[in-house]
A and B are shown apart, each in its own frame.
Chain A
Amino acid sequence: DIQMTQSPSTLSASVGDRVTITCRASQSISSWLAWYQQKPGKAPKLLIYKASSLESGVPSRFSGSGSGTEFTLTISSLQPDDFATYYCQQYNSYSRITFGPGTKVDIK
């Protein structure tokens, strides 16, 4: 099984800050990685797919990078609407899709 880790688990930041979240896979997944944002009581929302492709309608302050085993999600200037939990998801094969444990971004 491919294991996913995320760091940090919690991140305290202020509006306007540049925020970076890291996701690591236990083995290479090429660029088969997605990022989701989830707010309390709501379903996750797809932000990034194929490691760096921005989903339609997602603000350009969100960006993704990486390949192989290490990936990052960057928010260039944190906005009030961005305080949420972020999950990475690997999809290297149809038979095993796994999510990272999540990173909570809260107000500093």
Chain B
Amino acid sequence: AQSVTQLDSHVSVSEGTPVLLRCNYSSSYSPSLFWYVQHPNKGLQLLLKYTSAATLVKGINGFEAEFKKSETSFHLTKPSAHMSDAAEYFCVVRGLGGGFKTIFGAGTRLFVKA
């Protein structure tokens, strides 16, 4: 069975400092992994995805994530936070049972202080 755990419900950083949002997954197969962002009162938008190509994945808005099979992790990072990055972030694993189910983490809310 697949599952995904976001290790922090809230992360607070200062503008200009690095961002780290942690995600661990469990999967019996090589997973497809995604990060989505949700700004207030908006739908979710795809940031980046890993689908068994390069382990370091670059996404939009300067975000990137590294797939580490040995650690079953897919942490999201950004070198320098911007005020506009304040949002909720979801780590997602695509289930392989029938190929339809997509499992979302509980979300991490990122706060960016001026």
| Same complex | no
Write the residues of chain B forming the contact surface with A, with a CB cutoff of 8 angstroms.
none
